[in-house]
Chain A
Amino acid sequence: MILTVLALLGMQQGIADRLSGRVPPDVGAVVESLGTDAAARGLPIDPLIQKAIEGSAKRVPPERVIAAVRLVVMQLDTAAAALRAGGMISDTLAIAAGAFAINAGMDAHDITNLVLRGGGQTVVNVRLELNVAGTLVAMGVPSSEASNLVSASLQSDSPATKLLSLPSRVQGEVARGATPAQAAAGLARAAAAQARRGPPPGHPQPPPHPPAPPHP
């Protein structure tokens, strides 16, 4: 109990140090409080600090900065709940990636499905999937299509890191006249077909996904 209190006090001081000189004092005080509460719930605090600093850098009035930070907290809570519903244990970077995806327009339900379909994958892969899915949604791909495409690509035995090529592949199809939804659906069908046939001849089975690095 004492250790927990000390840890939270240290956390609050850490937030104060990062915000010092970057945001008005009244904003800093609210963000410290929000950040301490968020940390106690297992949420990452970096997105809150970043949003506060961003708002001040953009010369946004303090009340709007605080409102934006509160919205980030809500998105983090939603993402954490969606990950838990998918059976994923708490990982602050995965929660942050989920909050990004939600901010991009992804449904919490699709985040849960993405994690469930991944079945026991590493947290590193979950972060990657959420970042890529969020990016696809930001490009105009509907949430469910983005989730399907990422899942299908993983199941096609491609290295997880190949997910990073999906946004540019969707962009290429859009440049040829497809809508983002059509592009994602077509790529998902191709990935599913690939998964049914197994790896191409001459292509060895991809190496296992990288192990998770130590928790930050």
Chain B
Amino acid sequence: MSEYDFHPLVKQLLDGDITIADLPAELRAEGEEALRLLAAVDRSPVALPAVPQRVMRALTRTPQRSLRWLLAPALALAAALVLWLGGGRSHGPIAAPGAVVTVHFVLSAPDARAVSVAGTFNQWDARATPLVRTGANGMWTATLELPPGQHQYAFVVDGVRWVPDPTAPAVDDGYGRRNSVLTL
């Protein structure tokens, strides 16, 4: 995470969406400073592990701050990762009718005996989409192809415990619990 908090327009400059000339005069000094910092970044080649491993490592890092107050210790981490199919898109989902989006669900539940994900995409069937335990650190994963739109879901631990994804937005489920929201 960057320690610099640039103006959103300066961030667009760093993303290459605009040029320094597009910035308002009062932001140009900040833009030049941001470009100077960017130029100083070491761009020497780095050997990266395969994408799934990088994804998993990122998942093990990012949500831990929120877990302390969200979940019991047995559930240390959860996330739904969205991977766009169709290639070549720089942003946004597939708008073409019939397209699907690959979503990777991940939950860390070291003490769980079984984990599944249930939601609007599988008629809330707690047995339809089991997660698979991967590795020795209690990570559970499942990959689904979902249509674009809004989906609600929750993880089901040991067949009885409904747990929202702590890294996703959530809404009232009408039953005293929360459903996680996935908008594709």
**Is B69 engaged at the interface, CB distance under 8 Å to the other chain?**
no
Per the bound structure, the CA–CA distance linking A72 and B169 in Å amounts to 19
B110 CB-CB contact with A under 8 Å: no
The verdict on B73 contacting chain A, using a C-beta distance below 8 Å, is no
User: Can you list 12 A-B pairs, Cβ within 8 angstroms, ordered by A?
Assistant: A50-B124, A64-B175, A104-B171, A131-B150, A134-B171, A134-B181, A135-B169, A138-B181, A161-B95, A164-B92, A193-B24, A194-B18
Nearest CB to that of B6 among chain A residues?
Answer: A176
CB within 8 Å of B: which A97-111 residues = 97, 100, 103-105
Name which of A4-12, A29-37, A51-59, A80-88 contacts chain B.
Answer: A51-59
Report the nearest A residue to B94, measured CB to CB: A161
Closest to A65 in B: B175
Q: Is B34 an interface residue, CB under 8 A from the partner?
A: no
Q: Which among B7, B8, B123 is the interface contact of A53 at CB below 8 angstroms? A: B123
Alpha-carbon distance between A55 and B24 when the two chains are bound, in angstroms: 53
Nearest-CB distance from B74 to chain A (Å)?
A: 19
Q: Contact between A165 and B92 (Cβ–Cβ < 8 Å)?
A: yes
Q: How far is B120's CA from A91's CA once the two chains are assembled, in angstroms?
A: 20
Asked whether, in the complex, the Cβ of B123 is within 8 Å of the Cβ of A131, the reply is no
| A186 located at the interface, meaning its Cβ lies under 8 Å from any Cβ of chain B in the complex | yes
Task: Indicate whether A165 sits within 8 Å of B120 (C-beta atoms), given known contacts A131-B183, A177-B5, A200-B19.
Answer: no
Contacts of A51 in B (CB 8 A): 174
Which residues on the A side are within 8 Å of B93 (C-beta)?
161, 164
B17 contacts chain A at the CB level, 8 A cutoff? yes
A62 within 8 A of B: no
Given contacts A50-B124, A57-B124, contact A68 B175 (CB under 8 A): yes
A139-B123 CB under 8 A given contacts A97-B150, A176-B5: no
Residues of A close to B1: CB separation below 8 A: 175-176
CB nearest to A197 among chain B residues? B22
Asked if B177 lies at the interface with its beta carbon under 8 angstroms from chain A, I say yes
Chain A interface residue number, banded: 35 or more
Residues of A within 8 A of B177 (CB): 58
Q: Which residue of B lies closest to A190 (CB)?
A: B8
Q: What does DSSP make chain A's interface, helix, strand, loop or mixed?
A: helix
Q: Which of B86-145 contact A (CB under 8 A)?
A: 91-93, 95-97, 118, 120, 123-126
Q: Bound complex: CA of A148 vs CA of B169, how far in Å?
A: 19
Is B60's beta carbon under 8 Å from chain A? no
Is A132 an interface residue when CB atoms closer than 8 A count as contact? yes
Q: Is B42's beta carbon under 8 Å from chain A?
A: no
How far does the Cβ of B59 sit from chain A's closest Cβ, in whole Å?
Answer: 15
Residues of A within 8 A of B8 (CB): 186-187, 189-190
Cα-based distance from A203 to B19 in the complex (angstroms): 11
Do A103 and B172 touch (CB < 8 A)?
yes
CB of B184 within 8 Å of the partner chain: yes
Q: Which of A107-158 contact B (CB under 8 A)?
A: 124, 127, 131-132, 134-135, 138-139
In the assembled complex, B64 has its CB within 8 A of some CB on chain A: no
- The answer for the CA separation of A175 and B175 in the assembled complex, in Å, is 30
**Other A-B pairs, 15, CB within 8 Å; known A57-B125, A189-B8:** A50-B120, A51-B174, A54-B124, A55-B174, A71-B174, A104-B169, A132-B183, A134-B150, A135-B169, A139-B169, A160-B95, A194-B12, A200-B12, A201-B18, A210-B96
| Cα(A55)–Cα(B22), bound, Å | 53
Shortest CB-to-CB span from B70 to chain A, Å, is 14
Decide yes or no whether A213 CB sits under 8 A from chain B: yes
Q: Which A residues between 13 and 35 are near B, CB-CB below 8 angstroms?
A: 22
CB distance from A86 to the nearest CB of B (A): 19
Cβ–Cβ contact A190 & B150, under 8 A: no
